[in-house]
Amino acid sequence: MKIKYFLACFEVEFLCYFLWFRGTRTPKKFGIRRNSVKKFVVQFLKSGAYVGLIRNGPHKLPCLSKFRLQFLSVLGFLSTLASAEPHKMVFVVNMSLKMRAGKIAAQVGHATLGVYRLAQRSDKGQQALTAWRSVGEMKVVVKGDSTDHLLELFKESRDKGLFVYVVSDAGRTQIPAGSRTVLGIFGPSETVDSVSGKLKLL
């Protein structure tokens, strides 16, 4: 097993160096952006991420979990990461409700699940989630002024094609039932920032 493991590591490194030297001539059908290949390969090798990839390969690529790294499978996986557009989730907290820290944490958790499940319902959303996971699953929590403010941001985000979800509290603790507590926004980082970029961090 150890021999197979080290051979698999060697194969991944060989593939990465292949991508490095052919970074500007990689076939377009793999969707690899020229400017991102070398940067990605360097980060990939330095982080040692390939070790975890081999040990706990994604279930969609069974060849990885069996230490049998097929060239095209790994190339396709790496190209997805290299070409992924940065995505992020931003959560806007309704500060007018004066919620305590624990309550805010719970409501942000609801918003995370809500916007995640919403994105899962479409092919576009699933692709966005894949890109989001490949760049570290970025999440940011910011301050919103009021319920009206959250609803304005909701409309603006929806008009720009982003995934949006508003949490309505059940009213069991601290605040009245139906209160709009947190707005979750998800999509390409640049588009999300155009909506929430000027809001202050919580």
- Inform me whether the pLDDT recorded for 63 exceeds 60: no
Number of Cβ within 10 Å of residue 6's Cβ equals 12
pLDDT digits (tens, 9 = 90+) for 45-60: 454 444 444 444 443 3
Ordered structural domains, the chain, with CATH? 2-83 (no CATH), 87-197 (3.40.1490.10)
| For the ranges 2-16, 49-63, 76-90, 125-139, the one whose mean pLDDT is highest | 125-139
Instruction: Report the pLDDT value the prediction gives residue 136, as an integer from 0 to 100.
Output: 84
Cα 62 to Cα 101, 119, 174: the distances in Å are: 42, 25, 48
Contacts of 50 (CB under 8 A, 6+ apart): 9, 12, 13, 16, 44
Q: Which pLDDT score is estimated for 24? A: 44
Has this prediction a pTM greater than 0.75?
no
Query: Tens digits of per-residue pLDDT, 102-147?
Result: 999 999 999 999 999 999 999 999 999 988 988 789 999 999 999 9
Q: Is the pLDDT of residue 10 over 60?
A: no
| Pick from 155, 141, 35: nearest CA to 88 | 141
Identify the band that residue 17 occupies on the pLDDT scale cut at 50, 70 and 90.
low
What is the SS3 assignment for the chain?
CHHHHHHHHHHHHHHHHHHHHCCCCCCHHHCCCHHHHHHHHHHHHHHCHHHHHHHCCCCCCHHHHCCCCCHHHHHHHHHHHHHCCCEEEEEEEEHHHCCCHHHHHHHHHHHHHHHHHHHHCCHHHHHHHHHHHHCCCEEEEEEECCHHHHHHHHHHHHHCCCEEEEEECCCCCCCCCCCEEEEEEEEEHHHHHHHHCCCCEC
